[in-house]
Amino acid sequence: MATTDHQQQQPSLRQRRREGRTPSDETITSAAGDVADAPKRDEVVWGKTPGGEVFRVPTTHDVLTLFHPGYPKSHIDLFNLALLGLQLVLFFALSRKAAQIFFLLYFAFWRAAYDLGLGWVLTKQSKRKWIVREVQRLGWLDEKRKPEVRQWIKKQLAGKMGKDYSFDELPLEYNTWLLFRQLVDIILLNDFLAYCMFAFSCFRVPEGLSMTVHVMRWIGGIALIAFNLWVKTEAHNVVKDYGWYWGDVFFQRGALVFDGVFELAPHPMYSVGYAGYYGLSLIVGSYAVLFVSLAAHAAQFGFLVFFENPHIERTYGQKKPLAQRSPLMPKASRKLEDTTEAHSRQSSVSSAASTEAPTPAATEGETATESEEVYTETETEQEVEVTPSRKSKRHSSLGLPSVSSREDVPRSASKRIQLVSQHDLFHRYFRQDTVFLHNIDLLRASDFQFVLLMTYTLALVFVPSLSSSGALALHFAHALLWNLFHSFGLGLLLRAQSQSKFLVRHYLKHYHYPQNDRGQGAIQEAFQNWKVIYNLSMTMTYASFVGLAVKTYSVPQQWTVGNELLRHTLGVIMIGLHIWSTLESYEVLGLFGWFFGDFFIEDFPSHLEYTGIYRYLNNPEVFSGAAFFGLALISGSKLVFALAVIRLLSQWWFLSKVENPHMRKLYGDSIRSDAGFVKVIKKVAQKNARLLESRAGRHAPEIKRVAREVKGTFDKVYEETAEVVEEFLAKSRPRISEVVQDTKVLLQQSRERLVISRVASDLSSYDTKKYKISIVPSADGTYRFHLGEPIRVKWRAPLHHSRKDWIGIYRVGANQSNLVTKTSSLGMWVPVHDDEWDGDIPLHLHHPKSADPHSPDVEEGEVVFKSGALPWRTGKYEVRYHHDGKYNVMSLDGPFEVVVDKPSTLDFASVRKSLMHIVPLCLDNDPSLIPQSCKADQDPSAPENAEDGRDPDDFRFWSERQAKRISLAVEQAFDVELTPEVIVADANLSALANRILVAKELLSE
């Protein structure tokens, strides 16, 4: 059994261990395994093809036998030696400059053949056994189809093998691997020699270096080359030819045990195994060789990343579900356990270990090698203590679960098990945390400050030296940006919060909160982050304005000449007025009003008190512009004055468009129309008007008439303007909504149309009337399918139809033509012959028998759309039958509608019942993923509680794509946006139902 340390290491193709082999694997690994003292030469190694055929693996020889005169040479070997000899001839025949150019290009060719060519064909072989199937399709090893080719290949292979090799008895996969080895030898040897020839052609003796440096350079280079040779030799001694030539892409062999050089460094064949590149660069003393070596080494790492690592995960990876809640022993229990007897501890450990899924054997046929979607976890799932049954702290009109409201819910749904799990523990302490530039959220204060700090740091580094006028313009732009952001940016954000609770909605959507906090966590976090961002913005607005004023200020030479002293005096007075009004406003508002708490918190009493400075003014914030005009007077700068005017106008916009509408929304008629200062001014104006009327005598009526007309004119203009603006806004709202919706549709269509429609040129030989597809109705007999429900489509086509025909699902109206499809299916397609589909190559060329005796030239069948091939957006769709892997439409059917189950009432039981239908469909009805409560609902004989004691409402995921499906379904069913990360964090029907109800309650208030 492998140790824990070895299990945690990620194996490479040169370093992989077979975990958890089945008993049958143990028996075929070594026939002499039971005899401890058996000689090594008597050991027998067995292999197993993906189809399950077991065979004895014969002895193979390494590549160095190519240069051994005692071994026979095949035609392929002679061709390889000829290519190598040609390189040596060209090296001596070409001039130095020509040799450098030729061998650089020649080496690039062989390096591309290795990293791109071999990487491509090995990837296809790993996924679909493409190389084996190509050999099978071409008939190279088929004695009946191409006996000459088979005989020639047999001679090429048999001459290089030992006496235990039998070409006729070994399976196709093994012989194909031996043939593939010949190609690999040609590429590897020519790649190596071309690099050496290029390096030797670039040889030079660097000038200006001492003899000691030259000696050290040669010693270091020789040491690196020797180390390279040692690594390669040791690696081959460990992995043998099976690992060296990627044998596990073709067949599976016994367990591989690694030691020696594989404990020296990760992926030694690709990392330290290329040290010779740099050793030879040192010896030849050429930067060109060094840079070529770096590029070639980088290409080799690309081969590792894009082929070998995915192949390892595909072949040896263990599928681990996301959100798996494995109960952990609480810390207190562990301390208590330490005092118990040893056999009790061992029993606890054994029971905990039994909860882990075993690793599937790597040699268990197709399932171990051909899985297209194998997801492996790279992070540990961490979980938390599950809370007991929740009680509502306040009554909810949406029917949030309380003691009384949950009595009609099955006990399995309300039962909570007080155990700690790694998954919940992880999501308690980690919530979309920022890692460098990943997971940045600008509505989170810490991230906003982080981005701001990064921006200023980069600006200091990259902004060039500026002239005085340039620096002044930069300061003005800086102050202007902060002013606009503070008034308009935060103003629009605050207005969105007032109208639709935008900030609270954002935090509910993107962040996970405890199940029993009833949405208060989102409100508190939204308000806390708003306060920090608002305070930072206000501070930077003042600081940037003062910075501009200081930059434009110059100390007067003579204070008493002109208006210098007057400007400074008035400026200081206005700054003092600003400070006084701000302090008075803060004293009345307090922290709650200062940070606009009534936009977020509804628990505070909603009443107005006109005290302090608000006794005299409704909006003392107008004095906040006094300091800006004061600084403009002191500096005497037109730029500062212009910015002060912009500040005043933007502040007026904020008051009229953000704050005042929200005040009217909250307090209605309790808002007074005139403040004390305005009332006094009006009284004085009325008194003066009466005095003027008494003194006007006979002209008084005329003056009153003119005054009324002027006032009426202004009132009429104001009313008409207000009516026009209101009418414009009323008419523009639906149009804006339509524009937004149309924009979404256009974006969707643009995504769909990212395809180049390929059409066939042989349609004349096919009768489109013989093609027909029809959608099989759903269980209720209609053409309405629930989101995630499999869709079955029957098809009918001529017997000689292309084996590459396929059927796709498209939105109704996405394609204007019924003859050619011009939009992408976005993955919603299935081949007509799924088992015969391999890219553009049919795997089986047989013609099935006709299903209809009266129409012998017709074939019928049925395909099923499921999982990722389904549409995950509600709407109307159609199906299209396409010809020969192209986009020619031979038949279509539809429309059919995709719908989602929406509860009739918003209460806990209804929402949970809808989720019990939605979640299993999004999880492909996988029994290992769906909640136990759903199994009990579908099968009454199923046990009510989970076998391992977990909450029966818990569910899991194989990939984040399944969580995204649930996120989309929840948005369409309940109009609540939750990110897939929040869905994964909950992973529980009751918790998710609670979260939906809390979101609906908070966002509907």
Q: For 678-726, what is each residue's pLDDT tens digit?
A: 555 666 666 666 666 666 666 667 666 666 666 666 566 656 665 665 5
Higher-scoring residue by pLDDT: 260, 820: 820
Q: Per-residue pLDDT for 393 more than 50? A: no
pLDDT band, residue 497 (cuts 50/70/90): very high
pLDDT digits (tens, 9 = 90+) for 351-387: 333 333 333 333 333 333 333 333 333 333 333 333 3
Q: Mutual orientation of helices 520-552 and 502-510 as an angle, nearest 10°?
A: 120
Answer positive or negative: Cα dihedral of 907, 912, 914, 915: positive
> DSSP labels for 594-633?
HTTGGGT--SS-------GGGGT-S-GGGGGGHHHHHHHH
Locus of tokens 């050991």: 43
Tokens found for residue 609 = 């008190």
Q: Per-residue pLDDT for 21 more than 60? A: no
Quick one: how far is CA 162 from the chain centroid? Answer: 51
pLDDT band, residue 149 (cuts 50/70/90): very high
Average pLDDT for 894-903: 92
Instruction: For residues 356 and 347, give the distance between their C-alpha atoms in angstroms, rounded to a whole number.
Output: 15
Q: What is the pLDDT of residue 403?
A: 38
> Cβ atoms within 10 A of the Cβ of 766, count?
19
Q: Per-residue pLDDT for 519 more than 90? A: no
Average pLDDT for 94-110: 96
> Cβ atoms within 10 A of the Cβ of 197, count?
22
CB-based burial label for 859 (10 Å; 0-12, 13-18, 19+): buried
Tokens found for residue 226 = 């020797």
Higher-scoring residue by pLDDT: 967, 660: 967
Average pLDDT for 74-88: 94
Candidates 972, 954, 953; CA nearest to 897 is 972
Angle at the Cα of 282 from the Cα atoms of 279 and 283, rounded to 5 degrees: 90
**Mean pLDDT of the residues in the chain:** 80
Largest CA distance in the chain: 138
Q: What is the pLDDT of residue 892?
A: 93
Higher-scoring residue by pLDDT: 940, 374: 940
Of 137-151, 170-184, 252-266, 783-797, which range is least confident? 252-266
Average pLDDT for 106-134: 94
Angle at the Cα of 250 from the Cα atoms of 248 and 253, rounded to 5 degrees: 45
Does residue 990 contact residue 414 with C-beta atoms inside 8 Å? yes
Q: What is the pLDDT of residue 419?
A: 65
Instruction: For residues 241 and 236, give the distance between their C-alpha atoms in angstroms, rounded to a whole number.
Output: 7
Does residue 644 contact residue 631 with C-beta atoms inside 8 Å? yes
Average pLDDT for 883-905: 91
CB-based burial label for 489 (10 Å; 0-12, 13-18, 19+): middle
Instruction: For residues 472 and 474, give the distance between their C-alpha atoms in angstroms, rounded to a whole number.
Output: 5
Task: Tell me which H or E stretch contains 505.
Answer: helix 502-510
Candidates 857, 899, 896, 854; CA nearest to 874 is 899
Tokens found for residue 828 = 């919603």
Does residue 808 contact residue 825 with C-beta atoms inside 8 Å? yes
Sort residue 730 into left (φ over 0), alpha (ψ -120 to 50) or beta: alpha
CB-based burial label for 107 (10 Å; 0-12, 13-18, 19+): buried
Q: Per-residue pLDDT for 341 more than 70? A: no
Q: What is the 3-state secondary structure (H, E, C) of 736-757?
A: HHHHHHHHHHHHHHHHHCCCCC
Average pLDDT for 205-233: 93
Candidates 180, 201, 345, 190; CA nearest to 250 is 180
Q: Per-residue pLDDT for 79 more than 90? A: yes
Phi, psi values for residue 1002, rounded to 5°: -65, -40
Q: What is the pLDDT of residue 324?
A: 83
pLDDT digits (tens, 9 = 90+) for 738-752: 666 556 555 555 555
- CA distances, 596 to each of 542, 592, 602, 604, 833 (Å): 19, 6, 12, 12, 63
Instruction: For residues 1004 and 500, give the distance between their C-alpha atoms in angstroms, rounded to a whole number.
Output: 8
Q: Per-residue pLDDT for 397 more than 60? A: no
Average pLDDT for 395-423: 51
Average pLDDT for 194-203: 96
Strand-pair category, 772-775 with 858-865: unpaired
pLDDT band, residue 794 (cuts 50/70/90): very high
Residue type, 464: P
Candidates 759, 774, 756; CA nearest to 881 is 774
Q: What is the pLDDT of residue 698?
A: 62
Sort residue 251 into left (φ over 0), alpha (ψ -120 to 50) or beta: beta
In this prediction, what percent of the chain has a pLDDT beyond 90? 47
DSSP H helical segments within 32-146, as ranges?
75-93, 96-112, 119-128, 130-138
pLDDT band, residue 194 (cuts 50/70/90): very high
